[in-house]
Amino acid sequence: MAASKKKYNFKGLDDIFGESVTDIIDVIENDKKLAKEKTLIISVDLLKPNPYQPRKVFEQEELVNLAESIKLHGIIQPIIVNDKNEIVAGERRMRAAKLAGLKEVPVIVLTLSNAQMEEFAIIENIQRVDLTDIEEANAYKQLSMSLKLKQEEIAIRVGKSRSHIANIMRLLNLPKKVQDALLQKKITMGQAKPLLTILGNESLLEDIFQKTIDQNLTARDVENLVKNAGKEKQETIKEPKSPNIIQTENRIMRRLGTKVTIDNKKITIGYSSEADLNRVLEILGLLEED
């Protein structure tokens, strides 16, 4: 269907976002009169996903439920797109509309630059969509890299605490296998966080991660496994010998002509045979005379 597109033009990001990224979307979606005036009807096949969309997983059951609602009531809120028909807000509605068998959908067109599209997609999704923890972490990383934002600035932008941003972004230090499990909701953030403390021990991390999956361990179970592994490691680490101890070992070895170790408050004297043992005992004055 040919139609001249009506567009909103913005000078910059502040004109889009105001105090919140959802401001303009809320106005468009909730002002029925404005939505009616600006809405176009286009083929659903013309719509393209936002290339900056941080969400990678769309729950099929949710889409099916939304599709059933669309069959009954249609799409109540128009899908927001740019002038390339890339979706700014409403990808779930678009996917559900296809499931429902709709050929055409209502849209409102915004004129946005690539930078505006990227920031809009990331922040709008963080504020409005239930992202997985790892998707949220990647969204913050994208904001940090693309817009050169510090964690404090990201926190202000998305309305969350700096500690929340920092904790979520730490998940990106985990191995890809663990990140994929978070993305697929096989494990929770609570189960994954203890693994961050053993990043330097790949084999231990892999072992505990696999146990978490296979045995469906709770977050507390994982914490305890990591904690106990840490205690065992501490117990196996030996304090380095002081120069005085090493010097004493060498003096005794020269005197006895055999290997001598001083460790854990014990002196160990080696010997190669019974005859060698008698030799050492004789030097020590401990050999009993017949």
Rounded CA-CA distance 191/135 in Å is 17
Rounded CA-CA distance 114/189 in Å is 32
Rounded CA-CA distance 175/86 in Å is 32
Q: Which residue(s) pair with 81 in the sheet?
A: 87, 109
Helix residue spans in 148-261 (DSSP H): 151-158, 162-170, 176-183, 189-192, 202-215, 219-236, 243-256
Is residue 91 annotated as part of the catalytic site, yes or no?
A: yes
Rounded CA-CA distance 127/81 in Å is 18
Least Cα distance to 115 among 18, 5, 12 occurs for 12
168 contacts 137 by C-beta, under 8 angstroms = yes
- Copy the structure tokens of residue 109: 């067109």
Name the active-site residue from 91, 118, 136, 249.
Answer: 91
Q: Which residues contact 29 (CB under 8 A, 6 or more apart)?
A: 35, 77, 78
Q: Which residues contact 47 (CB under 8 A, 6 or more apart)?
A: 79, 81, 85, 87, 94, 105, 107
186: number of Cβ within 10 Å: 13
Tokens 């096949």 map to which residue? 45
Q: Residue 183, exposed/middle/buried by CB under 10 A (0-12, 13-18, 19+)?
A: middle
Rounded CA-CA distance 18/80 in Å is 18
Active site (catalytic) residues: 91
